[in-house]
Structure 1
Amino acid sequence: MISVLIAHRAAEEGEIPLALHQEYISDLQRKQTEYMAQYRDEMDAERSRQEELFQRRLQDEVQRLNEKHRRELQMAKKKQWCWQCEQEAIYHCCWNTAYCSVECQQTHWPMHRRYCRRKKTAQTASTLTQQQNTSSSNNGEREMAKVIRQCWVWRKNNRVWRYLPRRDDRVNRVDLDVLAEQCETFPDPMPVEPPKLWVAWIFRDLENDHVRKLFGKYPKPGELHIFMNTLSNNKQLWKIKHLIEIRPISFPNGEPGPEDVYNLEVMADGRCIIDENLADPRNVQLLDPTKQFTKNYLMSKLRSKDARLKEIYEDTVYNPENISIC
């Protein structure tokens, strides 16, 4: 614009011819039109690029949200919901029935007892029909199938999603006095004087958590183990009563003292005998002849080592006859 005004002033003053002035002005207007057209093209191209970028980002965001919604929906489907109050279930009764608490299970049990599959899986159809008729006639006297148990939760562990045990937020208060309760304070005492110790062993080669807790990591059938007659030990032994033999320990020679530690022998019938000759060094077998190296084996090993490590041979130049000391 400034250049046009300068050209007009120069033409009025007669410095440049009028035709040249008109040509110059038309040239400027043409350039201005070209620049404006170029600017509009660039603006349209930029607008198209931004719209395309926005549409692509919008599609990516929609796809991400759809994928997130799909994962959340799958997680929600994998969870179990309480049949009574429709909250997230913590325990389950049978294969398709879960509850959030024991109260909900007990409330829903009159409706669920006829369809519970916990006790029906190992029975025949005739037995099922009889039990259903009996349960209907008893008007709900049948007890619940089994105490509800914890279920697994689909959650993230580091970078992997996997089934993990649900965290138990209940406060477990352990009564140490009850665990350490002795036989004198049992609620149902024995009519005779109770023993202080038990001797027990397993007669089946079976491993589970209860057996390993009492008899070690690798239990052996027939190996004697001694337990104190306490309430906690009796509860653990009662869980595997069908796998063990248990006897009360008696002391025919009197109860042992600290000096009799190495002279004790416990029999399978429960007798604890004090034998002073038990720890006699003359009766202790330190070596087992069946597990020692034989004379011929040692001689052959020594001969082979001597042949491999011998430095002077008769058929070489390094024998004593050919060696000279200068």
Structure 2
Amino acid sequence: MSNVTRMLLGGVRHFTKRYKGEGGVKYGLITYYPRTPDHVDPPIEPTKLLMIQRVKPFKGNPYWQKNVLTLLNLHERSSAIAIVKNTPEMNSMLWEVKHLIKVTPIKCPNGLPKDGDLNGTYLHENGTFMVTHKVAIDPSRIEATEKFTNDWRRLDKETVQRQLRLKWLNPL
């Protein structure tokens, strides 16, 4: 095939120049070029836990990807989530199936729950783990509530209904 035919069929080939400016910062094998010379990245603290959800179908994937999804227990329902630790071993497993899953870091704005405080926790879809700490109830309030419920003179729903029904049946 001649060069003219290749050009007509293949279009024009564009060559781009890579930016090889000065001021790059070396991080191992990677050279990072900041936008401004005095630019400093903010410190990042990685989260301890990750929330994983499968977004693509399980069917039609190679066996090694199915094995990873099965290990994460994401092979049954697409709405199921898995909570995993943010470790290098787990990240390498997730890297194999990154196109099949959605990874959300879990943030704990109220701190981690204490022992026996798990009933007041909720994990949002955006990865926010909310903890409502148990509130200590004043013993005098508990005593006052018990005294009120055990009082024979109080008007509860059943007593009021019974008395009103009797008045309705015998008005005089």
TM-score, normalised on structure 2?
Answer: 0.46
Higher helix share: 1
Please say which structure displays the higher CA radius of gyration.
1
| TM-score, normalisation: structure 1 | 0.25
Greater RCO structure (CA 8 Å; 6+ sep): 2
